[in-house]
Amino acid sequence: MASVQDPNPRPLPGEPLALDLLNTQWLASAGPADLLATPEGTRTWLASAGVAAAPAHGTREALVTARQAIRDVLTGQGGTTARDRLNEVLGHGCLRPSLGPGTTTTQTLEVDDPAWQPAVMAAVNLLDLLDQAPDRIRQCQHPACVLWFYDTTRNGTRRWCSMATCGNRAKAHRHYDRVKKTR
């Protein structure tokens, strides 16, 4: 996994924005890591996720709030309270539809406070994922991993955030168990 000093310290880049935000907390070899723990880490995540270059005052706090609301909704913790917290984040923005050149339609995200822009973007992304295929949003099945991913495999059977790390650990563990039984 990546460390906070890496140019792109995200442990699982390439995931949809909502899951990328969740994955700003992970278990590194040295223990729990939180990319949003510092203003520098927040700027790094915003830039590497392609969200914004310069955060407004309060962006980090808004992102932490959105991250927890997204996590609670996906894990089912908090019931209606989790849904209410996510709706609070979404309440900071609205999508304004408009007609563009020709007959193309566009939607523009407008926020009441620039600090909430990335958080609302992540919350809106979660809604899109839940509309598209909620069963494809998964947490890695490795017991020592806390990362989330969107399963884009054809048959929808992906189990690990990464075959190179968690998948390999699971295969090694199964192999060790088989060898141990034959002794």
What residues does each domain of the chain span? Answer: 17-182
Q: What pLDDT was estimated at residue 3?
A: 47
Sign, Cα dihedral of 45, 50, 55, 60: negative
Q: In this predicted structure, what is the pLDDT of residue 169?
A: 63
Q: What is the pTM for the complete model shown?
A: 0.84
pLDDT of residue 166: 84
Q: At what angle do helices 59-75 and 80-90 cross, to 10 degrees?
A: 150
Output the pLDDT for position 100.
87
CATH architecture, domain 17-182: Orthogonal Bundle (1.10)
Per-position b or e across 142-163, b if 16+ CB within 10 A of its CB:
beebbbbbbeeeeeeebebbbe
Tell me the CA distances in angstroms from 32 to 26, 27, 50, 136, one per residue in order: 6, 4, 24, 26
Query: Please, what are the averages of pLDDT over each run of 10 residues along the chain (183 residues)?
Result: 59 93 91 93 92 82 97 91 96 94 91 95 97 96 92 91 71 59 71
Give helix then strand counts, H and E, for the chain: 6, 6
DSSP code of residue 78? T
